[in-house]
Structure 1
Amino acid sequence: MSGEAAAASAGTEPVREGSKFDEARLERWLQETVEDFEGPLTVEQFRGGQSNPTFKLTTPGRLYVMRRKPPGATVPGAHAVDREACVMGALGTVGFPVARVYGVCTDDDVLGSWFYVMELIDGRIEWDSRLPGMSQADRAAHFDAMNGAIAALHRIDPLTIGLDDFGKAGNYFERQIARWSRQYLADADAGRDEAMDRLIQRLPSRVIADEAPRIVHGDFRCDNLIFAPDAPTVRAVLDWELSTLGHPLADFAYNAMVYRLPENIISGLAGEDLVMLGLPSEREYLEAYCEKVGRAPLAAQDWAFCIAFNLFRLAAIYHGIKGRMIRGNAASLHAQQRADNFPVLTRMALSILDGD
Structure 2
Amino acid sequence: MSSSAPQRQFDLAELDTYMAAFLTGDAAGAVHRSLLSGGLSQMTVVYRTEERDADRTVVVRVPPEVGPLEPYEPVVEATLLEAMAELGVPVPRVVLVEADREHVGRAFYATDFISATMTAEADLSDPEEARTVAGAFLDLLVSVHEAPVDAMTVRGTLHDILGHIPAKTPLGVLDRWDAVLERTDIAVPAYHAFLSRWLRARCPDAAEQEVVVHGDFRLANVLWNDQPGSVAAMMDWEEAGLGDPMYDLAWLLMGSFADDDKVFGLATRREFIDGYAERTGRPVDPLRLLWWEVATGWSLLAMNGRATGLVAEGSYHDLRPMLYGYMNRRIAHTLLRKVTAHEDLLASAPLMS
Judge which range, 333-342 or 112-121, deviates more.
333-342
SS at match of 1:200: helix
Specify the structure having the higher radius of gyration (Cα): 2
1:149 aligned residue: 140
Letter paired with 1:58: R
Residue in structure 2 matched with residue 163 of structure 1 by the alignment: 158
Gaps of 5+ in 2: 1-8, 345-353
Output the CA distance in 2 between the equivalents of 1:205 and 1:95.
Answer: 39
* 1:271–1:285 distance in 2 versus 1, CA, 3 Å: closer
1:215 paired residue number: 212
Tell me the equivalent position of 2:103.
Answer: 110
CA distance in 2, matches of 1:171, 1:280: 26
1:59 to 45, 49, 56: 49
Q: TM-score, normalised by structure 2?
A: 0.81
Deviations 1:251-282 (A, max 9, x none): 2211222434xxxxxxxxx898749x984321
Deviations, residues 119-143 of structure 1 (Å, cap 9, x unaligned): 1111110122xx1254222122111
CA–CA distance in structure 1, aligned partners of residues 145 and 24 of structure 2: 32
The offset of 1:47, in angstroms, is 1.8
Is the CA contact 1:195–1:347 (under 8 Å) kept in the aligned structure 2?
A: no
State whether residues 63 and 72 of structure 2, in contact with CA within 8 Å, keep that contact through their aligned partners in structure 1.
Answer: yes
Between stretches 164-173 and 248-257, larger displacement belongs to 164-173
Question: Where do 1:181-330 residues align within 5 Å?
Answer: 181-188=178-185, 190-209=186-205, 210-260=207-257, 274=262, 279-295=266-282, 297-328=283-314, 330=316
TM-score (norm 1): 0.80
- Paired residue for 1:69? 63
Q: 1:95-106 counterparts in 2 under 5 A?
A: 95-106=88-99
For residues 74 and 280 of structure 1, what CA distance do their matches in structure 2 show? 34
Name the stretch that deviates more: 148-157 or 98-107.
98-107
Q: Which residue of 1 aligns with 2:349?
A: none
Higher RCO (CA < 8 A, seq sep 6+)? 1
Q: What amino acid is aligned across from residue 94 of structure 1 in structure 2?
A: L
Matched, 1:172 2:165: no
1:29 alignment partner in structure 2: 18
Q: Which runs of 5+ in 1 are unaligned?
A: 1-19, 261-269
Distance 1:327 1:137, change over 3 A: farther
RMSD over equivalenced CA pairs, Å: 3.0
User: Distance between the aligned counterparts of 1:354 and 1:35, measured in 2?
Assistant: 59
User: Does the CA contact (< 8 Å) of 2:124 and 2:266 recur in 1?
Assistant: no
Which residues in structure 2 correspond to 1:84-103 (within 5 Å)? 84-103=77-96
| Contact 1:321 1:339 (8 Å CA) reproduced | no
Secondary structure, counterpart of 2:109 in structure 1: strand
Q: How many residues align?
A: 322
Deviations 1:21-53 (A, max 9, x none): 644422443366679799422221112221111
Shift in CA distance, 343/319, structure 1 to aligned 2, threshold 3 Å: farther
